Structure formats: C-alpha cells, structure tokens
Amino acid sequence: MAEPVPIGVVTVSDRASRGLYEDRGGPAIEAELRRILATPWRPVRRLVPDERPLIEAALRELADAEACPLIVTTGGTGPAPRDVTPEATEAVCERMLPGFGELMRAVSLRSVPTAILSRQVAGTRGRSLIVNLPGKPSAIAECLGAVFPAIPYCIDLIGGPRLETDPAACVAFRPKGA
Ligand SMILES: Nc1ncnc2c1ncn2[C@@H]1O[C@H](COP(=O)(O)OP(=O)(O)OP(=O)(O)O)[C@@H](O)[C@H]1O
Ligand SMILES: Nc1nc2c(c(=O)[nH]1)N[C@H]1C(S)=C(S)[C@@H](COP(=O)(O)O)O[C@H]1N2
C-alpha cells in the first residue's frame, strides 16, 4: 500500500508556542483535512513563534526535507507588527497564487468585517503548495473549505501526488481529462 501523504501543519503563535495557551489551530487544520481527504495522509506538525527566520525554516524543512505536497499555516497574517507569516511565506516561495488569499478573504467577509485585515497568501516552493490561514481557530474550516476544491489539481500541476477528496465533504475540481 502507498505511504500516507505527508501534510505540513504549521501553527504560528507566540503564546501557543510558549505554552501560554493550548494550540487549537493545528488540531483544527487536521480535523478539516480528516473531513475532506480520502487519500491516506499524515500530519507533519510544527509550532513556532511569530519570528520570520523560524517560520521560514519550518516551511523550508517541510517542503524540502519532509517533501510535503501541501503545507497549511495558521496565524500571524494580520497587520500587527509581529504578524510576519505572509512575508515568511513569500520569502520561501518561488511563485505566488493570489487567488487563494482573494477567495479566503471574500468568504471570511461574510462572517466578519475584519476579514480584510488578513494578509494571508499562498504560493509554491518546488513541489509544495503553501497556504496561509488566519489564527482564529474558527477561520480554519471556513477558509480551507473554500479553497480546497482547487488544491488537488494545483498539486497535480506542480508534480505532487494525486489527492482524492470525500465528495460528501468537498468536490475537487479537475478539468476534463486531468
Ligand atoms: N494557535 C492558536 N490556538 C488557539 N487560539 C489561537 C491560536 N492562534 C490564535 N488564536 C486566537 O486568535 C486570536 C488572533 O490570532 P493572532 O494570530 O492574531 O494571535 P496573536 O494575538 O498575534 O497572539 P499569538 O501569536 O500569541 O497567538 C488570538 O488572540 C487567540 O485568541
Ligand atoms: N474567517 C475568518 N477570517 C478572519 C477572522 C475570523 O475571525 N474569521 N479574523 C480576522 C482578523 S480579526 C484578523 S486580525 C486577521 C488576521 O488574523 P491572524 O493575525 O490571526 O492571522 O484575520 C481575519 N480573518
């Protein structure tokens, strides 16, 4: 049987990384992936403070050494001085995919007017797709669910493994013949 696909789950939080509160972001990403993915997968978890070099190192390691075709981050996307996840993501990516942030902000705006404060981005590094989500645990299902239909085909296009979804949770879109 094929090995489970490694998926990077990165929580960026000063307080969760210091143990001041329990990380609810990483587990929320995993719960959403469990709901959506039919292909066997396993989480590769990282919990880092809002420090650009540490976020960049975690993303590079998950992409290059752990070979994760998908890396999802939560936290550090806002306008506060310590929010640097989008900068770290852009620094390690070769190409950016602006449609992800645009769609996630549009969907979030239906719930909160402060959705426009998230600078969340997505991009590719080699055969890895990196997607930022806001830190609010409640934003995770909303944002990931909105963009997931495009994720399997994006991973096909960058040379990653074929990911199948549970159609009851998420219908992945692939152009005819793909
Ligand atoms: N990993 C997490 N687990 C639980 N709650 C979180 C987490 N990350 C963020 N939150 C909640 O969402 C709010 C907004 O997230 P944001 O990323 O802006 O955090 P922050 O205020 O910069 O603090 P920190 O980096 O210490 O989590 C936080 O104040 C916290 O209440
Ligand atoms: N779906 C959703 N998106 C959201 C939010 C939310 O509660 N739900 N919070 C917003 C707020 S208040 C901020 S400051 C930005 C950035 O959050 P972050 O710094 O935790 O990443 O995300 C925004 N996007």
User: Nearest 5°: phi and psi at 97?
Assistant: -125, 85
pLDDT (tens digit per residue) in 87-109: 999 999 999 999 999 999 999 99
**Spatial separation of the C-alpha atoms in residues 34 and 174, rounded to whole Å:** 21
Q: What local confidence, expressed as pLDDT, does residue 178 receive?
A: 77
Q: What local confidence, expressed as pLDDT, does residue 5 receive?
A: 98
User: Is residue 168 domain-resident?
Assistant: no
ipTM over 0.90: yes
- The protein residue whose alpha carbon is closest to atom 16 in ligand 1 is 135
Distance 11 CA to ligand 1 centre (A): 10
CB 63 within 8 A of CB 128: yes
Instruction: Report DSSP state, residue 37.
Output: B
User: Which of 33-38's residues contact partners 24+ apart within 8 Å by CB, and which partners?
Assistant: 33/7, 33/9, 33/72, 33/144, 35/166, 35/169, 36/144, 36/145, 36/148, 36/165, 36/166, 36/169, 36/170, 37/163, 37/164, 37/165, 37/166, 38/164, 38/165, 38/166
User: Is residue 49 domain-resident?
Assistant: yes
Q: Is 135 in the pocket of ligand 2 (CB under 6 A)?
A: yes
Strand order in the sheet with 70-74: 41-48, 5-12, 70-74, 128-133, 122-125, 95-96
Q: Is 162 in the pocket of ligand 1 (CB under 6 A)?
A: no
Most distant CA pair in the chain, distance: 50
Give the pair of three-digit tokens for residue 112. Answer: 């909160």
- Smallest-distance ligand from the CA of 133: 2
Q: What local confidence, expressed as pLDDT, does residue 1 receive?
A: 66
User: Is residue 178 domain-resident?
Assistant: no
User: Is residue 163 domain-resident?
Assistant: no
Domain CATH number, residue 17: 3.40.980.10
User: Is residue 172 domain-resident?
Assistant: no
Distance 75 CA to ligand 1 centre (A): 6
HSE on the CB side for 2, CA within 13 Å?
A: 10
Q: What local confidence, expressed as pLDDT, does residue 123 receive?
A: 98
Number of domains observed in the structure of the chain: 1
User: Is residue 164 domain-resident?
Assistant: no
Q: Is 23 in the pocket of ligand 1 (CB under 6 A)?
A: yes
Counting as low any pLDDT under 70, the low residues of the chain are: 1
User: Is residue 119 domain-resident?
Assistant: yes
Residue 52's domain spans which residues? Answer: 5-157
Distance 171 CA to ligand 1 centre (A): 30
What 3-state DSSP class applies to 86? helix
User: Is residue 106 domain-resident?
Assistant: yes
